[in-house]
Amino acid sequence: MKIRDSRVLDAQKPSRIKIVPGVPNRAEGMDGDLALSDYKGEVKLYVKYKGGWHGISMGKAFDKIKKQIESSGKSKVRRDKIQVATNNIKSDGNFTLDSSGDISLDADGGEIYFKDGGTTFGELSTNGAYSMIKLYEDGGSSSDDYSLIRTGANGATQIRTVDAAGTAGHLTLDPDGDLLITGADVKIDATKNLYLDGGGDTYLYEHGADIVRLTVGGDIIMHITEQGDDGNQVKFHDASAGFTQLEPTYDATTTIVDFRHSNKQNLTFGAGNITNLSMYFPEMSGNFLLVLKQDGTGSRTVTNWRVYESDESGADGVNAAVWAGGSAPTLTTDANHVDILSFYWDADTEIAYGVATLDFQF
């Protein structure tokens, strides 16, 4: 019959427990033996291991001792620094970093990840050319759809959204106040629309090279073209262009007709003549029209047709209207009849050329 290895029998023997005064003698016992000692008023439990006795105080909680032993090999405290010599720091509850100074995260690999339940939902990273903050869709449900802020040389910064499957990665700026852009131009790519109604059918865009279109309600209203030596153009599509008609206030001494506010004016005489009809013209050339109506009495007249430039000083060219035929027209004298005075204002020479169309009757 085969005899079993005696070491197996020795392993099955229970460890011996001794009660000893003081520290157990090194020569006593075998590895695995236990000893209890009342030493200096403290009860200690000793275990013999590798030829030596190792003791701990029975008055301390064993779970606390275990934590101290585990942490003693993983962290070093040195003055104002804490160094953790491990690849993982785990907490079964909330984990707070509270520093009276700064907190530095120094990842020599260039990546710092933010995770929830092991799923990455954001990261800080650098590749040497730029630094980047990236946030993944729906808390990390997809790594193909994300937003990022990227900063490169000279502080040049880019904000992007990426929708891998389409073009729904919209970017919304919704401040609880105004959106202010100061000290910078605003640039959009050619042919892209600048919507004025939140993305509907009213927008401004570059239709082609040096061609701008204004679309309102889905209809092209205005077409602006730069053509260099061939002349620039502003074209209205299926639209009329007009002016708000203004009614100057009658004054017997000086009645002011201010064409700077509208090209079309309608004036009715009051209970008397006008000594000075003063016309103010804008700084650009154009055609201007004054409807002049007699009151219920009629036979009202204008003595002087004065002309002023946009700064309200007298016109440098001629400070009175220049009329076709060389003299001011004789106005219709019948009550309630209308005369129309048309002026071409030459802003370069500051001369107002006038033509009268007389006696419109009702």
Quote the DSSP letter at residue 196: S
According to DSSP, residue 63 is labeled H
Q: Are 225 and 232 in contact (CB under 8 A)?
A: yes
**What are the structure tokens assigned to 268, written together?**
């009715």
Q: Mention every residue, 6+ apart, whose C-beta is less than 8 A from residue 349.
A: 317
Residue 66's pLDDT band, with cuts at 50, 70 and 90, is low
Tokens read off for 354? 């006038």
Question: Cα(first)–Cα(last) distance of the chain, in Å?
Answer: 146
Let me know: does 179 contact 173? Beta carbons within 8 Å: yes
Lowest mean pLDDT among 25-34, 112-121, 247-256, 265-274: 25-34
Q: Which residues contact 231 (CB under 8 A, 6 or more apart)?
A: none
Per-chain mean pLDDT for the chain: 87
Checking if the pLDDT of 39 tops 80, the result is: no
List C-alpha distances in Å: 92 to 89, 95, 163: 10, 8, 36
Q: Report whether pLDDT(59) > 80.
A: no
How would residue 88 be classed by pLDDT, with cut points 50, 70 and 90? confident
Assigned token pair, 195: 């919507």
Distance, CA of 251 to chain centre: 53
